Amino acid sequence: MASGRPTVETRSIEMVPPHERHGSPKGQFTLWFGANAQITAIVDGALAVVFGADAFWAIVGLFVGNILGGIVMALHSAQGPRLGLPQMISSRAQFGVYGAIIPLVLVILMYIGFASTGTVLSGQAINLMLGTEVPAVGIIIFGATTALLAILGYKYIHALGRVATVLGLAGFLYLTVAVLARFDMAQIMFLKGFEWPTFLTAIALGAGWQMTFGPYVADYSRYLPQNTSERKTFWYTFAGSVGGAQWAMTLGAVAGGLSAAGLGGDFLKNQVGYMGDLAGGGLIAIFIYLVIVTGKLTVNCLNAYGSFMCAVTISTAINRRNTVSKTARITFILVIITISVLIALFASKDFLNLFKNFVLMLLMVFTPWSVINLIDYYKISRDRLDVPALYTPDGQYGRWNTAALLSYAIGILCQIPFLAQTLYTGPVTHWLGGADISWIVGIIVTAAVYYPWAKATNNAPKETIYPQTPEPVPAVSEP
């Protein structure tokens, strides 16, 4: 936003008009690098080793997963400049105005889950910096800071992303050099042979991480000018997200391998403190904790902001409005942050196992949604939308879209026999030696069901229909 505009962001779920667009796609790189180069991604990478993979093959699998998931994530981002809409508002074009509420509820649960886990880890880092052992201190400080920045909105979240990128580059570079200097990587690499089940789990962890950004990534590219290149938006988003995540996950896989070999401490018991010990302790450890807090703050702001957008999208589908007040915005965000803080305060001690199953479950739920959204945007409607109709259940897109909703349900149900979860392991998974390929099955089946159905029932307009937005009155210079 240009200087002189309100401190708190004024736009919510409505389309951003052309005269308010600004920035360049390069900003997507710093935002998404900062959002990915953080402690939860390190934990995600460590999970691949903790749950059975050799460190080398875990890194390779995570890279494959980040690439595959990053493509999907960046394709969602490329929609932002063209449409100027929040991601889940545009999802009404596929699911219907009421139908879109179903994935929206799941998205909010995802935001709360990630915000809670991030608050736990960041609270640990703040406590280590302050020298206190009272968990609530760090958790509450982090929650309050997240709420403030999420309320301020888009401009400040992007600024935080730039700071997190600089600190993340410095911190991660130091950690990488320190680990390579202190430890012989031969002690943790190629200790096990290649195993398909653990390799596929590593791919799923990487892909799941990236694809969970899909429901809100376009919220941060929609302020770009409408003529911004889709290709540039895609590549800057992809490079930032995949680059930051893979670096963090590689450090995590190495940390998991070192911990399993009895080197450097116990990662399983103290993920944040372990990273400080790897850095060498002292002031350097405090700097690493600051890097952890800043990076996690960036993504938690995204989660809080995204929760607000989803909650408003649900409420406005019912009350048929297309805007909300600043008071409502602040209230939504404070409620979400309060819930995530309370969950963090009472979090289970079995953090790593719960987090692994949380990521894989999200992959199961959001893979079919991504398939439906991307097929519609790039193959069916080809970015042609009736924007005003997205805000009324009596419009072109109606209340419920049978093709999308049934395809979504089938896409989820078909994955159940292939799941490898703590609560449930599908029969096909046993035949595959424990490999979880549910998300791959979900992609194939959802696409096979939805594409021909959507093509046969396509009702996209010939050209995009935009809302009538008054242009700003040009300033009159004094004679």
pTM for the model stands at 0.85
- Nearest by Cα to 91 from 435, 308, 368, 475: 368
Structure confidence at residue 353 (pLDDT): 64
Structure confidence at residue 9 (pLDDT): 54
- Nearest by Cα to 124 from 342, 445, 345, 373: 345
Residue 418 CA to chain centroid, in angstroms? Answer: 24
- Nearest by Cα to 190 from 307, 327, 59, 285: 59
CA 260-262-266 angle, to 5 degrees, is: 75
| Collapsed DSSP state (helix, strand, coil) of residue 145 | helix
Structure confidence at residue 377 (pLDDT): 93
Tell me how far apart the alpha carbons of residues 474 and 165 are, in angstroms, rounded to a whole number. 37
Backbone angles phi, psi at 386, to 5 degrees: -95, 90
Domain locations in the chain? 25-353
In order along the chain (479 residues), what is the average pLDDT of each group of 10 residues? 49 75 89 86 89 92 96 94 86 93 86 84 92 89 89 77 86 91 89 88 91 86 91 96 95 91 78 88 92 87 79 79 74 87 75 67 85 94 89 89 96 91 78 82 96 93 78 40
| Collapsed DSSP state (helix, strand, coil) of residue 175 | helix
- Nearest by Cα to 450 from 415, 416, 409, 479: 409
Which residue matches tokens 């995570």? 62
Burial of 478 (0-12, 13-18, 19+ CB in 10 A): exposed
Structure confidence at residue 127 (pLDDT): 93
| Collapsed DSSP state (helix, strand, coil) of residue 365 | helix
The packing angle between helices 39-50 and 282-319, to 10°, is 100
CA 206-207-211 angle, to 5 degrees, is: 125
> What's domain 25-353's architecture?
Orthogonal Bundle (1.10)
Asked whether the CA dihedral 122, 126, 131, 136 is positive or negative, the reply is negative
Structure tokens at 317: 């589908």
In this structure, the number of other CB atoms found within 10 A of the CB of residue 425 comes to: 15
What's the one-letter identity of residue 477? Answer: S
Structure confidence at residue 349 (pLDDT): 58
Helices (H), 193-281: 196-211, 230-260, 271-279
DSSP readout, 34-68?
A: HHHSSHHHHHHHHHHHHTT--HHHHHHHHHHHHHH
| Collapsed DSSP state (helix, strand, coil) of residue 419 | coil
280: left (phi over 0), alpha (psi -120 to 50) or beta: left
Tell me how far apart the alpha carbons of residues 451 and 260 are, in angstroms, rounded to a whole number. 46
Structure confidence at residue 243 (pLDDT): 95
